[in-house]
Amino acid sequence: MKNDIKNGKTTAIVSYITIVGCLIAITMNLEPKNSFARFHIRQAFGIHLLFHAMAIVATFSGIAVASISTILYLFYMAMWIFGFVQVLNEKETELPLLGNHFQKWFTFIN
């Protein structure tokens, strides 16, 4: 288990660096597969996807005002920091509220 964390830590870190980093991490984890990296790729993918979806909805619904945008960015940054700190601490702690769902929804990420 400890060796699995050590081998997957770099890939897990890359996954939190924008949505593009997450896509790169998915390809990095194709061979050999690493369970620690997979866990964090799913968490990061969920964070990035949720942020972009909420930003698109806010923009096209006309509610993209400063206060809503600020709340959206703060929510995104809080989730991102939580996930990133978990990687640095070499832990597999799910994000509050949505982390369990991200693990279920993104099972295509092996």
Q: Is residue 33 part of a domain?
A: yes
DSSP state of 13: H
Q: Model confidence over 3-53: pLDDT tens digits?
A: 788 899 999 999 999 999 999 999 999 988 999 999 999 999 999 999 998
Q: Are 83 and 53 in contact (CB under 8 A)?
A: no
Q: Is residue 109 part of a domain?
A: no
Instruction: Please work out, in degrees rounded to the nearest 5, the angle formed at the alpha carbon of residue 92 by the alpha carbons of 81 and 29.
Output: 90
Task: State the CB neighbour count (10 A cutoff) for residue 21.
Answer: 18
Which helix or strand (DSSP H or E) is residue 87 part of?
Answer: helix 66-88
% residues pLDDT > 90 (the chain): 65
Q: Is residue 92 part of a domain?
A: yes
Q: Is residue 21 part of a domain?
A: yes
Q: Are 44 and 18 in contact (CB under 8 A)?
A: no
Which helix or strand (DSSP H or E) is residue 51 part of?
Answer: helix 35-60
Q: How many domains does the chain have?
A: 1
Q: What tokens does 20 get? A: 């593009």
Whole-prediction pTM = 0.88
Residue 34 belongs to what domain range? 2-99
Q: Is residue 77 part of a domain?
A: yes
